[in-house]
């Protein structure tokens, strides 16, 4: 037991040091002080901003996008400046232009928050959201420009586009707008294409060496356009080694980089089989037609022409670095920037960045751009496949929509017209280093090589009907690319043909059935599009708009009718084709 007397504590002298010292007090209060200061600073900032909003009599035009490249922000600022000059010249008030570059990763969320919170900027770049979400957002938060899209763009005055509707001044005519809503909302500012980038200096140096070794006739400052010659050059380049004694890896590969080569060099080679596949004479080989062509034995996967296409695929993948199928896009770029590879496929959107990376590399070099090589008709083995270079759809990209929160929609619309006028679109894209989207707008010298080919060839068959065939193709094709199957056994063109002939149809049957079900499910949605357009006609009092809507309605009337006929016809065709296949012993 303690023996401390009860009044002992009272007897003790008061120790002053028990009370917090001033320094202690400051230390203890620092956090509170910091919190309070931050709070009031934020409050003041918000209040000032709100006050500025209320008292600012300037027209503020805000725009959000995810392009963080310095050229893009600079381009917008410059165009806003020029727009103000135009406004000043015609006596209109100047605008205050604000742009908000948002990182890609957060863009979708940011846009959603701003739209739902009613604080969205006037113009928003469209993307990074699922299609269904975008559809709903368009209907709810964006202003349609349908009425304006059929009128000429006044900023095209004095050009060959002066009298053409705004819609028709775009390289793709803006397509059908948003078919589900029967309205146009977005306007694009650029278009894109892909080409092969190469290291000219290194190519010259290495080909000089090859000439010295007697392996090449002449020194080259550009890769051969002929695919066979290009592949032969790749083999010779691979025999040479760099300063560290490592062999050169001619083409920097990764799955997406190979995708570009596949699209622009290999896929058009299947065009000649279109004759057997295109049943309805529309010039496209769609997946259903491919399915019935195979089922009815009009076309087989061991067709000699297709076998050659597959052989070319293998010939190309053999020239990519080992393990290319599992490296990332950036790893492939590193190979090129480190000068271990001479060639790499890239898009026009990447062009400036790649050139900058090369210029800032430890051993800087200049980058040149050329077309992907192609098979020539004169080729002794592959010539019959050569119909030409692939068609490059000049699709509108870098699209912006006007939000309903805009306080000055007429100014925003005017700015959109300004940016998409022939002259201004050219100037804008010149600054940002991309391809203009307006007809007649010239692209910068650097981008000349990216000029989309509008006289090109499309693939002649389409073997992906749905998830089952896609998975099957994704399992089968890599075996051919790598040259062996999952058990390490050699996998060549013949193995590819055999597997496709034996197993593709089974997967396609499942996809076909599932798609039939999906088509039936979609019948109701098609009716909804029709119903909403019908309501617009019934409720609209503007005769011009009523006429336009009636035309759209009649256009939208065909798909639901066609869909029912197509379901019935496909079912009938399937029944007939199966009976025929059974009769011929091709099907159990």
Regarding 473 and contact with other proteins (CB under 8 A), the answer is no
Q: Is 209 or 451 the residue whose CB approaches other proteins more closely?
A: 451
Regarding 568 and contact with other proteins (CB under 8 A), the answer is yes
State how beta strands 59-65 and 95-101 pair: parallel
Strands of the sheet containing 343-347, edge to edge, are 343-347, 194-199, 367-370
Regarding 501 and contact with other proteins (CB under 8 A), the answer is no
* Residues from 153 through 212 that contact other proteins (CB under 8 A): 171-173, 176, 181
Single out the segment in contact with other proteins by CB under 8 A; choices: 153-161, 274-282, 332-340, 420-428.
Answer: 274-282
Beta strands (DSSP E) in 267-405 are 343-347, 367-370, 396-402
Q: Is 253 or 394 the residue whose CB approaches other proteins more closely?
A: 394
Single out the segment in contact with other proteins by CB under 8 A; choices: 17-25, 356-364, 430-438, 455-463.
Answer: 455-463
Q: In whole angstroms, what is the distance from residue 157 CA to residue 173 CA? A: 19
Single out the segment in contact with other proteins by CB under 8 A; choices: 83-91, 314-322, 352-360, 561-569.
Answer: 561-569
* Residues from 73 through 132 that contact other proteins (CB under 8 A): none
> Sign (positive/negative) of CA torsion 427, 433, 435, 440?
positive
Q: Is 191 or 321 the residue whose CB approaches other proteins more closely?
A: 191
Q: Is 353 or 550 the residue whose CB approaches other proteins more closely?
A: 550
| Contact in structure between 135 and 181 (CB atoms under 8 Å) | yes
Shortest reach from residue 401's CB to other proteins, in Å = 15
Q: Is 342 or 457 the residue whose CB approaches other proteins more closely?
A: 457
Regarding 294 and contact with other proteins (CB under 8 A), the answer is no
Q: Is 60 or 545 the residue whose CB approaches other proteins more closely?
A: 545
Q: In whole angstroms, what is the distance from residue 488 CA to residue 377 CA? A: 36
Using CB under 8 A, which of 78, 302, 495, 516 touches other proteins? 516
Single out the segment in contact with other proteins by CB under 8 A; choices: 44-52, 99-107, 231-239, 523-531.
Answer: 523-531
3-class DSSP state of 102: coil
3-class DSSP state of 99: strand
Q: Is 375 or 421 the residue whose CB approaches other proteins more closely?
A: 375
Shortest reach from residue 193's CB to other proteins, in Å = 12
- DSSP states of 408-445 as a string? -HHHHHHHHHHHTSHHHHHHHHHHHT-EE-BTTPPPPG
Regarding 263 and contact with other proteins (CB under 8 A), the answer is no
- DSSP states of 365-405 as a string? --EEEEPPPB--TT-TTTGGG---SBP----EEEEEEEBTT
Q: Is 314 or 451 the residue whose CB approaches other proteins more closely?
A: 451
Shortest reach from residue 389's CB to other proteins, in Å = 5
Q: In whole angstroms, what is the distance from residue 240 CA to residue 202 CA? A: 12
Q: For residue 323, how far is the Cα from the chain centroid?
A: 25
| Contact in structure between 121 and 63 (CB atoms under 8 Å) | yes
Regarding 281 and contact with other proteins (CB under 8 A), the answer is yes
- DSSP states of 310-328 as a string? HHHHHHHHTTBPTTGGGS-
Using CB under 8 A, which of 38, 241, 448, 575 touches other proteins? 575
From residue 373 to residue 412, the character string flagging contacts with other proteins as x (rule: CB under 8 A) and all else as - is: -x-xx--------xxxx-x-xx------------------
What are the residues facing 188 on neighbouring strands?
Answer: 399
Regarding 133 and contact with other proteins (CB under 8 A), the answer is no
Using CB under 8 A, which of 33, 454, 490, 494 touches other proteins? 454
Shortest reach from residue 268's CB to other proteins, in Å = 9
65's enclosing H/E stretch is strand 59-65
Q: In whole angstroms, what is the distance from residue 515 CA to residue 152 CA? A: 42
Question: Distance of CA 413 to CAs 53, 123, 563, Å?
Answer: 21, 10, 37
* Residues from 424 through 443 that contact other proteins (CB under 8 A): 439
State the SS3 of 503-517. Answer: HHHHHHHHHHHHHHH
Shortest reach from residue 504's CB to other proteins, in Å = 9
Using CB under 8 A, which of 104, 160, 221, 517 touches other proteins? 517
Regarding 464 and contact with other proteins (CB under 8 A), the answer is no
Question: Distance of CA 409 to CAs 143, 193, 304, Å?
Answer: 9, 32, 59
* Residues from 225 through 244 that contact other proteins (CB under 8 A): 225
Q: Is 12 or 539 the residue whose CB approaches other proteins more closely?
A: 539
Q: Is 48 or 568 the residue whose CB approaches other proteins more closely?
A: 568
CA 75, 77, 80, 82: dihedral to nearest 10 degrees?
Answer: -70
Q: Is 414 or 507 the residue whose CB approaches other proteins more closely?
A: 507
Regarding 455 and contact with other proteins (CB under 8 A), the answer is yes
From residue 524 to residue 543, the character string flagging contacts with other proteins as x (rule: CB under 8 A) and all else as - is: xx-xx--xx-xxx-xx----
Question: Distance of CA 418 to CAs 77, 189, 415, 436, 537, Å?
Answer: 14, 11, 5, 13, 31
* Residues from 138 through 157 that contact other proteins (CB under 8 A): 139-140, 150
Regarding 421 and contact with other proteins (CB under 8 A), the answer is no
Single out the segment in contact with other proteins by CB under 8 A; choices: 49-57, 121-129, 341-349, 573-581.
Answer: 573-581
Q: Is 373 or 433 the residue whose CB approaches other proteins more closely?
A: 373
Q: Is 74 or 136 the residue whose CB approaches other proteins more closely?
A: 136
Question: Distance of CA 266 to CAs 223, 249, 287, 491, Å?
Answer: 17, 20, 19, 19
Regarding 222 and contact with other proteins (CB under 8 A), the answer is no
Using CB under 8 A, which of 453, 482, 492, 495 touches other proteins? 453
Q: Is 183 or 368 the residue whose CB approaches other proteins more closely?
A: 183
Q: In whole angstroms, what is the distance from residue 231 CA to residue 319 CA? A: 7
Q: For residue 380, how far is the Cα from the chain centroid?
A: 36
190's enclosing H/E stretch is strand 186-191
């Amino acid at each position: 037991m303690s023996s401390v007397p009860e009044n002992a504590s009272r007897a003790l002298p008061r120790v002053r040091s028990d009370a917090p010292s001033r320094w202690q007090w400051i230390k203890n209060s620092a956090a509170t002080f910091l919190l309070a200061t931050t709070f009031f600073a934020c409050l003041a900032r918000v209040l000032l901003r709100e006050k500025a909003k209320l008292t600012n009599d300037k027209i503020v035009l805000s725009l959000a996008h995810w392009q963080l490249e310095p050229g893009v922000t600079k381009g917008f600022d410059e165009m806003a400046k020029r727009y103000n000059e135009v406004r000043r010249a015609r006596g209109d008030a100047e605008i205050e232009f604000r742009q908000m570059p948002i990182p890609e990763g957060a863009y979708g969320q940011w846009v959603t928050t701003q739209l739902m919170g009613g604080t969205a900027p006037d113009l928003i770049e469209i993307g990074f959201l699922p299609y269904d979400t975008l559809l709903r957002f368009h209907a709810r938060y964006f202003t349609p420009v349908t009425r304006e899209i059929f009128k000429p763009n006044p900023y095209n005055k004095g050009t060959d586009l002066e009298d053409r509707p705004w819609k028709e001044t775009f390289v793709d005519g803006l397509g059908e707008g948003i078919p589900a809503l029967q309205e146009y909302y977005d306007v694009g500012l650029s278009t894109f294409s892909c080409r092969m980038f190469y290291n000219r200096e290194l190519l010259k140096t290495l080909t000089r060496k090859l000439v010295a070794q007697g392996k090449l006739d002449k020194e080259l400052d550009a890769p051969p356009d002929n695919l066979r010659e290009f592949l032969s050059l790749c083999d010779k380049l691979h025999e040479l080694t760099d300063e560290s004694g490592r062999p050169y890896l001619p083409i920097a590969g990764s799955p997406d980089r190979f995708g570009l080569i596949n699209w622009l060099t290999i896929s058009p080679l299947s065009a000649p089989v279109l004759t057997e596949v295109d049943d309805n004479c529309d010039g496209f080989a769609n997946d259903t037609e491919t399915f019935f062509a195979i089922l009815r034995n009009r076309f087989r996967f061991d067709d000699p022409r297709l076998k050659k296409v597959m052989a070319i695929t293998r010939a190309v993948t053999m020239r990519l670095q080992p393990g290319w199928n599992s490296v990332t896009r950036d790893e492939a770029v590193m190979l090129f920037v480190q000068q271990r590879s001479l060639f790499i496929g890239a898009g026009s959107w990447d062009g400036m960045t790649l050139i900058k990376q090369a210029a800032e590399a430890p051993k800087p070099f200049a980058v040149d751009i050329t077309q992907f090589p192609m098979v020539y008709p004169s080729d002794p083995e592959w010539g019959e496949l050569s119909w030409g270079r692939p068609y490059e759809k000049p699709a509108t990209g870098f699209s912006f929509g006007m939000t309903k929160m805009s306080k000055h929609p007429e100014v925003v619309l005017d700015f959109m017209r300004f940016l998409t006028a022939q002259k201004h679109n050219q100037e804008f894209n010149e600054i940002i280093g991309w391809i203009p989207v307006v007809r007649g707008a010239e692209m910068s010298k650097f981008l000349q090589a990216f000029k989309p080919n509008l006289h090109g060839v499309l693939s002649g068959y389409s073997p992906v009907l749905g998830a089952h065939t896609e998975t099957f193709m994704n399992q089968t094709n890599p075996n051919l690319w790598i040259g062996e199957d999952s058990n390490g056994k050699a996998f060549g063109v013949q193995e590819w043909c055999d597997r496709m002939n034996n197993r593709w149809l089974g997967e396609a049957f499942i996809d076909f059935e599932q798609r039939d079900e999906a088509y039936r499910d979609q019948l109701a949605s098609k009716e909804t599009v029709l119903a909403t357009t019908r309501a617009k006609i019934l409720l609209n009092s503007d005769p011009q708009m009523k006429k336009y809507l009636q035309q759209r309605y009649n256009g939208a009337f065909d798909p639901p009718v066609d869909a029912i006929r197509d379901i019935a016809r496909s079912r009938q065709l399937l029944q007939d084709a199966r009976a025929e296949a059974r009769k011929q012993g091709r099907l159990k």
